[in-house]
Amino acid sequence: MREELIRAALSARENAYVPYSGYAVGAALLTEDGEIVAGCNVENASFGATNCAERTAVFKAVSQGKRRFRAIAIAGGEKGKEPVDYAYPCGICRQVMNEFVAEDFQVIVARSTADYQEYCLDKLLPHGFGGESIR
Ligand code: ZN
C-alpha cells in the first residue's frame, strides 16, 4: 500500500500548477476505508491564494465525504525532474491534517517508491491544536 500511495503522489505531482516557484508537489491521502485521494499544489499570482498539495488532497477528500485518514505520501521538487530532497509538509498542512487523523497517522515523504521516510504526525506536530483544545 505504501508504494501505491507514493506512486499516486508522484503521479499527482505531474499536475502541479507552479508557474512561479517551479516547485511541484504531489500528495496522496489514504482514507480509513482504503481509498486514495490525490492532490497537487496550485499556485496563484496572488501568492497568498496558493494551496499546497497536502491540503488539496485533504480538502478534496473531505468534500467527497471522507473524514478519517490513515496516511499521506508527499513528493516534491523541481518540476519535470525527479525529487532530490524529501518534501516535508508545511506547518499549515500539518495543522490541517491534525484535524482529521488519529495519533498513528503516517506521513511518508518520498523521493521515489524505494526512497522514503515515514513519521507519525505527532512527531511532526507535537502538542497539536485540535478540537479537544477548545471544548
Ligand atoms: Zn502546506
What pLDDT digit, counting tens, does each position of 42-63 carry? 999 999 999 999 999 999 999 9
Gap between the Cα atoms of 1 and 6, Å rounded: 9
Which pLDDT band, with edges at 50, 70 and 90, does 132 fall under? confident
Q: Is the pTM of this model over 0.85?
A: yes
The one catalytic residue in 3, 54, 78, 82 is 54
- How many Cβ atoms sit within 10 Å of the Cβ of residue 112? 13
**If you measure from the C-alpha of residue 26 to the centroid of ligand 1, how many angstroms do you get, rounded to a whole number?**
11
54 is catalytic: yes
| Amino acid letter, residue 21 | S
Mean of pLDDT values over 18-25: 98
**If you measure from the C-alpha of residue 115 to the centroid of ligand 1, how many angstroms do you get, rounded to a whole number?**
21
**If you measure from the C-alpha of residue 41 to the centroid of ligand 1, how many angstroms do you get, rounded to a whole number?**
9
Question: In this structure, what C-alpha cell is assigned to residue 15?
Answer: 499536475
Which pLDDT band, with edges at 50, 70 and 90, does 102 fall under? confident
Supply the mean pLDDT for the chain: 96
**If you measure from the C-alpha of residue 1 to the centroid of ligand 1, how many angstroms do you get, rounded to a whole number?**
23
Higher pLDDT, 56 or 103: 56
Which pLDDT band, with edges at 50, 70 and 90, does 135 fall under? confident
